[in-house]
Amino acid sequence: MSNDEKRVLIKYSVDLSEVPDRVSLMVIEVANQCGELAKLCRSAATQAKEEPVESLHSMTEVMKNLQRKQIRIEETMELLIGYVRETTPPPEEKISKKKTKKTKKKKED
């Protein structure tokens, strides 16, 4: 694996309120890189007719590119899941309110 293909984990903290903006920027970055992916796909398609071996190399690059984008999208989803968990009230609060109402009805009977 070359240095270009090595992945490293960069860890830092941000305010909870910044998470949606950070996730948005990361997803936009992936979207902006999709132009490169489209170019690789067109190249593989063109090469398939006259240079099938080169087309296979291009398709391999397409696969690597897609895998990197999939990893980035999965990372952004994990960040957003964490944000939603932190900002959404736990379901137990809703359940306990329902139980309280049912308990009151039973006591009245």
Q: What is the pLDDT of residue 99?
A: 62
Task: Render each residue's pLDDT in the chain as its tens digit; 109 residues.
Answer: 556 678 888 888 899 999 999 999 999 999 999 998 999 999 999 999 999 999 999 999 999 999 999 999 999 999 999 999 999 988 776 566 666 666 666 666 5
In 3D space, the residue among 58, 2, 70, 59 whose CA is nearest the CA of residue 33 turns out to be 70
C-beta of residue 58 within 8 angstroms of C-beta of residue 46 = no
Phi, psi of 49 (to 5 degrees): -75, -45
Q: What is the pLDDT of residue 98?
A: 61
- CA-based end-to-end distance of the chain: 72
Sign of the torsion formed by the C-alpha atoms of 76, 21, 33 and 11: negative
Q: What is the pLDDT of residue 41?
A: 95
Q: What is the pLDDT of residue 53?
A: 96
SS3 88: coil
pTM for the whole structure? 0.70
Q: What is the pLDDT of residue 62?
A: 95
